[in-house]
A and B are shown apart, each in its own frame.
Chain A
Amino acid sequence: MAVHGSTVTSLPHTSTPATVNTPPTPEHRTRSHSDKVNARRARTGWLFIAPFGVVFVAFLLAPLAYALYLSLFTKGLATGTRFSGLENYLHAFSDPQFIKGVWFVVRFSLVLIPVQMAVSLAAALVLDHLTTRLARFSRLMIFMPYAVPAVIGALMWGFLYSPTFGPLEQLFSLFHASAPFLLSQDNVFYGLLNVVTWQWAGYYMIIIYAALQGIDPTLYEAAKIDGASERQVAFRIKIPLVSSALVLILIFALIGTLQFFSEPQILGPVANGSITPDFTPNIYAFNLAFGYAQFNYASAISFSLGIVVFIAVYVFMFATRKKGSNLS
């Protein structure tokens, strides 16, 4: 209730530009009753959206616009702040540190996303097939890592990876081999891959599982009458029917990995230098801003990151949408 009170008070400021766009509603003129009702409904509609509008403008549009603005300036020691146009962007895209980070997250997504999709899809299909108590229990347990903050997840795996007191070492010593250090320069890619897969596969599994549960079971019966095997049912019926859930997951995973931050940031101190301050674009921007007070350059990197992810996801959605319509 209190929330609603605040909406009403905040409305006049936010909806003014909006009402300018909506059709003019001259109340004094004589109009049919339904016109009046419609106009009032339209206003009520805007009222409902107003609180979100305020938050949207304040914490999405304004920061984006401000980042764009800041990125067009450069602050020098002697010169003060001056307009520098696209200089920061040209600098970013020729900055080996930034390029290195971008290259890392791109490579990382290319491997991570298929792995995560495969694990979560396989788990969901198996769980959809089985209805035992063990399956129900497994579903909960596979989902559990979602409840663990990324910071804690990374910390735990940092311990488990330890070559001196982690279980990997004990496991490998059974075979008289020494465990690979998954945070070394060469292996950190896989070390992080495992942390992120562990963290998110269960959540994705639940989304696919829920979509599978929504399929009309008579379809399976029809397929069985036609002589389809379990495998054919899975590949020809189940997977195509949950494709929109798969696309949703892909988008989540893409947005998530391209802004990779917490896990490498937390594993940095225990990784013996394989996680550098320019490891991902986000970590680089954070260190530029809070380590070196280079807010203009950091804004350029933040803004590039935002735009690049946005375009990547948009292109991806466009591509999959087209494919989907061909299929149906």
Chain B
Amino acid sequence: MSALTTHLPATTRLSRPRRRNVAAHVFLGVLVLYFLAPIWWLFVASTKDAQGLFAGSSGAMWFDKNFNLIANIQELFAYNGGEYAQWLGNSLLYAVSGGLGATAISVLAGYGFAKYKFRGRNLTFALLLGAVMVPMTALVIPTFILMSNLKLTDTVWAVILPSLLSPFGVYLMRVYTAEAVPDELLDAARVDGAGELRTFFQVSLPLLRPALVTVLLLSVVGTWNNYFLPLAMLSTERLYPLTVGIGLWEQLASSNNGGGHSLWSLIVVGSFISIIPLVVAFLTLQKYWQGGLSLGSLK
């Protein structure tokens, strides 16, 4: 059958899709240009000094005559007692602990929902599905007031603990577990005398790796990029993550026009450095996330 169709009208098949492929490649080229242009700009701009950033000789999208990247980075890490390095560390701490925690909680709950039958399961799961639809930022202000009653605001816990909530992660884990872990396999392990915990860690967990990586990636990115939650929760500058710190610099720079020129170049190079970790992570882990993100389209 397939041999028949592929060999059929050879001449028309070759010429028409060819032309269409050119059009498709042009379309892709335009898209790539659009999606990469700001990132390219950020790279170019972070090699300029304050003067070049605003009145460079070769325009916004090309390098200035003096290449100032190294000096910019040195100034960035020296500025105001090295607060940038502190923010970078905080972002890492929040993203890693929030992401790992949310993933661990999600995989346990997803597994529980998928592989155990108990009364109240459907009701609980319906609650969870409802939670996926609750806008998380609407929770920030009441969570702030609750935490402030407990004297927990302006601590790292105020950012890490709310980041552990990931209803969508649980949902993904449940959907994936239902398909990837056959009941027969669990029963076989039980017959062999393995306890429930051992079955989970040694039999099921390895099968769940793709979903695990996906949920981890989604929650790490979510926490790393979060702005509203830490902005509301933290008032001590040394606890800020990068997003809030750079936002603070931006406000300082725009409120004192002129005097803020050098701060703008720090904001640019600081932004550039701040996107490197995630970009590198996505480029090196592509094998995992590209397969994993398809989980979102299941069901």
- Chain A interface residues toward B at CB < 8 A: 3-4, 7, 18, 21-23, 38, 41-49, 51-53, 55-56, 58-60, 62-64, 66-67, 70, 119, 122-123, 126-127, 129-130, 132, 134-135, 137-138, 140-153, 155-157, 159-160, 164-167, 170, 198, 201-202, 206-208, 210-211, 213-214, 221, 224-225, 230, 242, 244-245, 248, 251, 255, 258-259, 261-262, 265-266, 269-270, 282, 285-286, 289-290, 295, 298-299, 302-303, 305-306, 309-310, 313-314, 317
Question: How far, in angstroms, from A38 to B116 measured CA to CA in the complex?
Answer: 9
The reply to whether B119 and A42 contact each other, CB–CB distance below 8 Å, is: yes
CB distance from B219 to the nearest CB of A (A): 12
B112–A55 contact, CB under 8 A?
no
Chain A contacts for B144, CB-based, 8 A:
289
Q: A225 to chain B: which residues have CB within 8 Å? A: 1, 5
Give residues in B with beta carbon < 8 Å to A: 1-2, 5, 17, 20-21, 24-25, 27-29, 31-32, 34-39, 41-42, 45, 53-56, 59-61, 101, 104-106, 108-109, 111-113, 115-121, 124, 127-128, 130-131, 133-146, 161-162, 164-165, 167, 170, 196-197, 200, 221, 224-225, 227-228, 231-232, 242-243, 246-247, 250-251, 254-255, 267-268, 271, 274-275, 278-279, 281-283, 286, 290-291, 293-294, 296-299
Cβ B5 vs Cβ A3 within 8 A: no
> Which of A52, A137, A142 sits near B170, CB closer than 8 Å?
A52
Asked if A306 and B101 sit within 8 Å, CB to CB, the answer is no
Q: Is the CB of A159 within 8 A of B28?
A: no
Contacting pair B28 A126 (CB below 8 A): yes
Complex interface: chain A residues within 8 A of B267 (CB): 155
Residues of B within 8 A of A303 (CB): 138, 142
How far in angstroms is the closest Cβ of chain B from A42? Answer: 4
Q: Ordered nearest first, which 3 A-B pairs have the shortest CB separation?
A: A45-B116, A48-B112, A210-B294
Pull 30 A–B residue pairs with CB atoms less than 8 Å apart, ordered by A.
Answer: A3-B108, A42-B118, A46-B118, A48-B108, A48-B112, A52-B105, A63-B139, A67-B142, A132-B25, A144-B282, A146-B221, A148-B275, A159-B60, A165-B55, A166-B60, A170-B59, A210-B293, A211-B294, A244-B298, A258-B135, A265-B247, A266-B227, A266-B247, A269-B255, A270-B250, A286-B231, A289-B144, A303-B138, A305-B135, A314-B130
Q: How far is the CB of A211 from chain B (nearest CB, A)?
A: 4
**CA of A287 to CA of B121, assembled, Å:** 40
Would A147 and B221 be within 8 Å (CB), given that A48-B109, A289-B144 are in contact? yes
Q: Which residues of B contact A164 (CB under 8 A)?
A: 54
